């Protein structure tokens, strides 16, 4: 990226919580923590000090399908950045004392997630959506599943997870291609590959979860089966999601918040996995109005699926997604992360021009098709966390989506 004095490095691994069986739930996230406790000739403090001494920053994240290590730094620091990440993924110390200590840290993280209602409600919905599957278990795992993780077991898991043939090294910004290729060969090209853990196909099961807690607000998540990352209908689903609940001009925001005052926060999102996905709605509401809000959310989704978007809605959604794409193109970190993820999924990066063209090519019929396809399956995953009075909200959303008779009131006021 000409004119920049910094670069962003992302080393992404095709592997994460989805590769775990139930007995190893949370091990990928634990491993990501542990490699920062010491690697190569570096202790925990050395790792961050070496990067920060060059004005850089380092971070990592574990997801269901990918684990990524990210460094931002000044031009000239790429050799150091590549060596540090290589040591983290291939040569971590995995000290037994640190393993015990870090399991306690993750236990605190698990407790913190439980204590945060608008985090925990998503875990509840995910568990229902993919019940009995690795996609349905929390990325953090549980205290019980982490207990057997000792040095030998974690060392074996590292070798299976961080295999070089399932890694992508992506750099954007102030970078010289010849230097990068030489460094990639030196630090990542000499390691032995390992067999990939078997991943079972994703199956959206659906279900209802409720958790009554003495808090002020009800936290609601409603999910439907979505599309895979490779599905040609994904651009249409992205537009559908934007129109449904992507911003302040979205249907959910205008209908639920502005017109009725049912919620302070309400939005829609979509999560594509390699072979499946989901469309979701999150909202927070007063418990006594949660059922009405659930019905409004379902009705707005159905209305958009059946009638399709207006010309103005479609045009606005295209503009928003198109602008977001080009804005991310101007960020070295966004570009490196996106290119790494796309290479793992598609085998090569997808140009921004191609991505923009796919978005702009969609019409109202395309959005109607994906909307009807999701609704027609009749599957929902719902989670309600908050006062008992909100408990029926998940069932109300599911019933309305399936076309069951709904109570008179809010639904009749929709378009």
380-390: per-residue pLDDT in tens? 999 999 999 99
Domain ranges of the chain: 6-117+133-188, 207-413
pLDDT score at 197:
81
Q: How do the residues of the chain divide into helix, strand and coil, expressed in percent and rounded to 5? A: 55, 20, 30
Phi, psi of 68 (to 5 degrees): -130, 145
Closest CA to 272 of 341, 335, 196, 221: 341
Q: Do domains 6-117+133-188 and 207-413 have the same CATH topology?
A: yes
What is the β-pairing status of strands 207-212 and 381-386?
A: parallel
For the question of whether the overall pTM of this predicted structure is more than 0.85, the answer is yes
Grouping H, G, I as helix, E, B as strand and the rest as coil, residue 102 is: helix
pLDDT score at 411:
37
For residue 241 the two structure tokens come to 């999601």
Distance set, CA 28 to CA 64, 106, 140, 158 (Å): 9, 12, 8, 8
What are 172-227's pLDDT values in tens digits? Answer: 999 999 999 999 999 999 899 998 888 889 999 999 999 999 999 999 999 999 99
Residue 64 CA to residue 263 CA, distance in Å, equals 30
Residues ≥6 apart with Cβ < 8 Å to 176: none
pLDDT score at 407:
44
Residue 400 CA to residue 299 CA, distance in Å, equals 7
Q: How many other C-beta atoms can be found within 10 angstroms of the C-beta atom of residue 103? A: 18
**Residues recognised as catalytic:** 32
What is the CATH number assigned to the segment(s) 6-117+133-188? 3.30.830.10
What is the CATH number assigned to the segment(s) 207-413? 3.30.830.10
pLDDT score at 209:
98
pLDDT score at 405:
53
Beta strand ranges found along 63-166 (DSSP E): 67-74
Residues of the chain with pLDDT under 50: 406-415
């Amino acid at each position: 990226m000409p004119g920049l004095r910094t670069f962003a490095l992302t080393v992404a691994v095709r592997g994460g919580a989805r590769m775990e069986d139930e007995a190893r739930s949370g091990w990928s996230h634990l491993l990501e923590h542990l490699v920062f406790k010491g690697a190569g000739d570096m202790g925990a403090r050395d790792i961050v000090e070496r990067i920060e001494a060059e004005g850089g920053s380092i971070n990592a994240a574990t997801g269901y399908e990918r684990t990524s290590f990210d460094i931002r730094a000044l031009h000239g620091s790429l050799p150091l950045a590549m060596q540090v990440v290589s040591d983290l993924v291939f040569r971590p110390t995995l000290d037994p004392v640190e393993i015990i200590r870090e399991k306690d840290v993750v236990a605190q993280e698990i407790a913190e997630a439980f204590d945060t209602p608008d985090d925990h409600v998503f875990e509840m919905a995910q568990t229902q959506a993919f019940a009995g599957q690795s996609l349905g278990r929390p990325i953090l795992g549980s205290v019980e599943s982490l207990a057997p993780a000792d040095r030998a077991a974690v060392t074996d898991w590292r070798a299976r997870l961080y295999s070089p043939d399932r890694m992508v090294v992506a750099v954007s910004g102030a970078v010289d291609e010849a230097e990068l290729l030489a460094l990639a060969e030196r630090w990542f090209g000499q390691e032995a590959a390992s067999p990939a853990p078997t991943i079972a196909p994703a199956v959206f099961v659906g279900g209802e979860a409720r958790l009554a807690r003495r808090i002020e607000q009800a936290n609601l998540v409603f999910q439907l089966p979505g599309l895979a990352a490779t599905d040609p209908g994904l651009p249409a689903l992205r537009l559908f999601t934007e129109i449904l609940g992507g911003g302040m001009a979205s249907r959910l925001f205008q209908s639920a918040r502005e017109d009725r005052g049912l919620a302070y926060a309400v939005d829609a999102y979509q999560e594509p996995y390699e072979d499946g996905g989901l469309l979701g709605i999150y909202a927070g509401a007063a418990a006594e109005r949660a059922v009405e809000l659930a019905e409004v959310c379902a009705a707005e989704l159905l209305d958009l699926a059946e009638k399709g978007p207006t010309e103005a809605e479609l045009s606005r959604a295209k503009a928003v997604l198109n602008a977001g794409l080009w804005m991310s193109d101007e960020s070295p970190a966004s570009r490196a992360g996106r290119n790494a993820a796309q290479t793992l999924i598609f085998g090569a990066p997808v140009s921004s021009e191609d991505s923009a063209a796919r978005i702009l090519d969609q019409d109202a019929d395309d959005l109607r098709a994906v909307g009807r396809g999701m609704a027609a399956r009749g599957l929902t995953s719902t989670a309600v966390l908050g006062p008992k009075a909100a408990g029926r909200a998940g069932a109300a959303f599911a019933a309305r989506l399936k076309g069951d008779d709904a109570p008179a009131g809010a639904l009749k006021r929709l378009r």
